[in-house]
Amino acid sequence: MREHPVREKQLFREHYFRARDGLRLYGRRYGSEVIGRNAKTPIVCLPGLTRNSRDFHPLAAFLASPDGGAFPVVTLDYRGRGQSERDSDKSRYTIAVEAGDVVAACAHFGISKATFIGTSRGGLILHHLIMSAPALIGRVVLNDIGPVIEIEGLLRIRDYLNAPASPRSWAEAPDFLQRIHGADFPRLGSQDWREMADAIYRDVGGVPIADFDPAIAAQLKGLTGEAVLPSLWPQFEAFAGIPAMVVRGEHSRLLSAATVQEMARRHPGLVAVTAPGQGHAPLLHVDGLKDEIAAFIRS
């Protein structure tokens, strides 16, 4: 991660706080008002498996702006990602533990109820929270995740996260990412790939290094095509009384169109959106997606 430009840093305030087990965690707060004094329901953004709060910067800045609704927005780094502390006990990199960290973050920011935007792993955490802390969830946006995970998509994630190759310089990083993901993301342009590189990598002596504990990716090494992945339909059905939106990447290998159709059948009020020219997981600030998300949150 390279240093944020001064103008970008002025859009958010950085916070460090403690998980229940004492681990030091990191989050950002966008918006000028203290959350407890703002009449609007805050938005909490939860990233994917190895991703971090930087993924949401363009969307969070928009939603906190007058054009996006002037919402207070919080974006989080889970333990072992971004600026949150690495866990010495690698067995604690689980959805249940990370859901507890989200609850701790909400307590730190004074949030009793929020709109949650969950990308991939973040959406799985929301499926846990709806059972363990349902009062926290006012409405939900699931970004390319649902109750059924396609094994093809998870195997692809396993392979690229554990691949030995990595970019050798910041100049090379955008092209490196495009070579890996470009077939699934034909919509993205050169600026999008540069922003993705800044979100994924941190700077170590001038070299971009993936900004997460390698133990997180290593958990997937034993996954095979014969694995039977449990579905989360009972948890999804617990969203029944909550306004919900799902965004699916047109080329997603993790969330199928058939699963989205079944989600809509079980949740008749579900707002389903396709992100054209994107795979897993879509960038939520391109092609008008940020406006659709803002309209859903305002509705």
Average pLDDT over residues 115-138: 98
Predicted local confidence at residue 6, as pLDDT: 44
Identify the CA nearest to 297 among candidates 281, 284, 279. 284
**pLDDT tens-digit readout, 15-57:** 999 999 999 999 999 996 666 666 789 999 999 999 999 999 9
In this predicted structure, the answer to whether residue 137 has a pLDDT above a threshold of 80 is: yes
> Torsion angle, CA of 76/78/80/82, rounded to 10 degrees?
-20
Q: Which two tokens stand for residue 187?
A: 């919509």
Q: What is the DSSP letter of 242?
A: S
Q: Which two tokens stand for residue 241?
A: 């009384």
> What's the per-residue H, E or C state across 59-113?
HHHHHHCHHHCCCCEEEEECCCECCCCCCCCHHHCCHHHHHHHHHHHHHHHCCCC
Average pLDDT, the chain: 94
**pLDDT tens-digit readout, 172-200:** 999 999 999 999 999 999 999 999 999 99
**pTM as predicted:** 0.95
Ordered domains of the chain (ranges, CATH): 6-298 (3.40.50.1820)
**pLDDT tens-digit readout, 258-267:** 999 999 999 9
Average pLDDT over residues 58-64: 97
Residue 169 pLDDT grade (very low, low, confident, very high; cuts 50, 70, 90): very high
Predicted local confidence at residue 10, as pLDDT: 78
The CA–CA distances, whole Å, from 185 to 160, 179, 197, 221, 282 equal: 15, 10, 14, 25, 8
Instruction: List, in order, residues 6 or more apart from 216 with CB less than 8 Å away.
Output: 49, 50, 80, 81, 93
